[in-house]
Amino acid sequence: MSYNSPEDVLRLARNFMESRILLSGAELNLFTILSQAPLTAEEIAHRTGSDLRALTILLDALAAMGLISKENNAYGCASSLAPYLTADRPASVIPMILHAAHLWLRWSRLTNVVKGIKASESNARPSRTVDELRAFIGAMHVVAEPQARAIVSAVNPGSAKALIDVGGASGTYTIAFLHAAPGMRATLFDMPEVVEMARERLSTAGMLNRVTLISGDFYQDELPRGHDLAFVSAIIHQNSTPQNVDLYKKVFRSLDQGGRIVIRDHVMDSDRLHPKDGA
């Protein structure tokens, strides 16, 4: 995308406002509430424990953006968006939106980070809460689910019998590999609280009996051995070069002779400008 006028640049500068409106709507669970039936601002304020005046302004902004509807002072979820903005629908992107909301404060510190100003201990970002972690793992599923089958097909697991999914998160890719290779078993390696979330999805998919769930920290711990295919997704972009070299060595040691490593991530070109999302 190019910016060719002052208006383009100013529009970009103000984009955070609409993003914040959407994020707050998701944090208040407004879209899921309104998917059940149209409600007045008073009814929604009672359901969410919100200030009526502030909530009404937020609802009107969401309606002006086309994210919800407003008719006769009753608000509803836009029918075309309900499958994506309702938390319990299969195609919901709410987990990804909540993950973006949890990143808000971190991105707000960008200028200080670039200037080398470290957050004080009192302002340092705390460890993820359970809700934040669940949103993050849900976001990983939202990203992975539409593309998992195509990625697995491109990898062509062939005769591979033992997969290790490093930082396997929701288990979405593990499930896709197991569907593609009926004779395969898998090991999903991730932090303890994440493993329990993966257990839920694997059980729902009917794959739990083919997966060994192992808790650990791939930055600190060795990976289990005896695999012929390793999958590493959405990890290397956040690491330093030494961290990635150390991780690759661990993954290599987890493989039997002749095993393969598959990496799915942003891989930047030589000028570090493309792909844009990676930059």
Position 57 pLDDT exceeds 50: yes
pTM for the model stands at: 0.76
Segment 157-178 mean pLDDT: 95
pLDDT tens for each residue of 235-250: 999 899 999 999 999 9
Contact between 167 and 191 under an 8 Å Cβ cutoff? The reply is: no
- Whether pLDDT at 53 is above 50: yes
Rounded to an integer, what distance in angstroms lies between the CA atom of residue 267 and that of residue 257? 26
Buried b (16+ CB within 10 A) or exposed e, 3-42: eeeeeeeeeeeeeeeeeebbbbbbebebbbbbbeebbebe
| Mean pLDDT within 213-219 | 97
* Predicted local confidence at residue 122, as pLDDT: 44
- Give the CA radius of gyration of the chain: 22
**Structural domains of the chain sorted by starting position, each given as residue range(s) with its CATH number in brackets:** 6-82 (1.10.10.10), 148-264 (3.40.50.150)
Of 77, 75, 58, nearest to 67 by C-alpha is 77
pLDDT digits (tens, 9 = 90+) for 95-145: 889 989 989 998 999 999 999 998 765 455 556 677 778 877 887 888 888
d(CA 195, CA 188): 8
pLDDT of residue 277: 80
The contacts of residue 26 (CB under 8 Å, 6+ apart) are 85, 94, 97, 98, 101
Cα–Cα nearest to 35, from 69, 72, 7, 1: 69
Residues 250, 223 contacting (CB under 8 angstroms): yes
